[in-house]
Amino acid sequence: MEDRRALIAGNWKMFKTCSEAVETARQLVEFVPDVNEIDVMIAPAFTSLALVNDIVQGSCISLGAQNVFWEKEGAYTGETSSDMLVSAGCKYVIIGHSERRQYFGETDETVKKRIDAAINGDLIPILCVGEMEKERESGETFSVLDKQIKKGLEDFSYSDLRTLVIAYEPVWAIGTGKTATSDQAQEVHLFLRSLLEKSFGAKFSESVRILYGGSVKPNNISELMAMNDIDGALVGGASLNAEMFSRIIHFKHQ
Ligand code: PEP
């Protein structure tokens, strides 16, 4: 099995004004001065990216965006290109978050275009997939994920996707306080890895980092990270507080 480097990523969603984002980033740099054994990323709102970049530059914390548009530039009011994100200091971009799928008409087809833009723009894509509660209850979890992965990654080669990160985020666990058990998450992560193996080969599937997301907190991160196929976490609510997020980042030392 490949030695996959863990990634703990914070999704700040539509929270924090510029000054609040700067303050939280400052605190985080203080609480997490030198984490070498894992990767850490925070994704503030677009308005705070460049400001937060000034704070985290030179630290062990990388910057990510919460979305990217697929065109390079043009008359697309309200959109943000990969070049713009890179110029603001971004290394990662979250793509296909369930909130974008639920409220903003994101589809597997648009996800695919965004992944393409990220790869061509030198950003590491974090592709979010996950089933709704009713889909889990009706036994459709695997078929939903199969479609999201196959359609979202259609036509790419494994070398296109060499930096890809996947985040498994069961929609029923996001912001609800209901976490998938570590066994439930491991079962899905293994399934996702088997899907990747079928499409792109074993070497690729063993190297892809698969994060878990959905009500990750300091008290459940260690158990999740102990699972073979869980390579990190995408954290929403608990990443908004620097002290709480730093406890998640320091999961090995709890
Ligand atoms: C998320 O926004 O990706 C997420 C997992 O949120 P939370 O941790 O709040 O459930």
Which CATH number fits the domain 7-253, given the four candidates 3.20.20.70, 3.30.70.100, 2.60.120.10, 3.40.50.1110? 3.20.20.70
Residue 176 CA: which ligand 1 atom is closest? Answer: 10
Q: Which of 99, 131, 169, 189 is catalytic?
A: 169
Residues 6+ positions from 5 with CB-CB distance below 8 Å = 38, 39, 209, 231
> Can you give the pLDDT at residue 240?
98
115 in ligand 1 pocket by Cβ < 6 Å?
Answer: no
- Any atom of ligand 1 within 6 Å of the Cβ of 237: yes
**Which residues are 10's β-sheet partners?**
42, 235
Other beta carbons within 10 angstroms of residue 202's beta carbon come to: 13
Sequential DSSP letters for 106-166: --HHHHHHHHHHHHHTT-EEEEEE---HHHHHTT-HHHHHHHHHHHHTTT--TTTTTT-EE
Substitution site in 234, 244, 248 for ligand 1 pocket (most atoms within 8 Å of beta carbon): 234
Ligand 1 pocket residue status of 169, Cβ below 6 Å: yes
Distance of CA 186 to the CA centre of its chain: 17
Query: Which of the residues 37, 97, 137, 154 is marked catalytic?
Result: 97
Separation of CA 192 from chain center: 15
Residues of the chain with pLDDT under 50: 1
- In this prediction, residue 177 carries a pLDDT of 85
What's the predicted TM-score (pTM) here? 0.97
From 101, 133, 212, 235, mutation site for ligand 1 pocket: most ligand atoms within 8 A of C-beta = 235
The pLDDT of residue 2: 62
Q: How far is CA 234 from the centre of its chain?
A: 5
Q: Is 129 in the pocket of ligand 1 (CB under 6 A)?
A: no
How far apart, in whole angstroms, are the C-alpha atoms of residue 244 and residue 236? 11
Question: Do residues 187 and 179 make contact, with C-beta atoms less than 8 angstroms apart?
Answer: no
What pLDDT, on the 0 to 100 scale, is given for residue 178?
85
Q: How far apart are CA 98 and CA 254, in angstroms?
A: 30
Pocket lining: 130 vs ligand 1, CB cutoff 6 Å: no
The whole-number pLDDT of residue 140 equals 97
Return the residue whose CA atom lies nearest to atom 1 of ligand 1.
236
pLDDT for 88: 98
Distance 60 CA to ligand 1 centre (A): 22
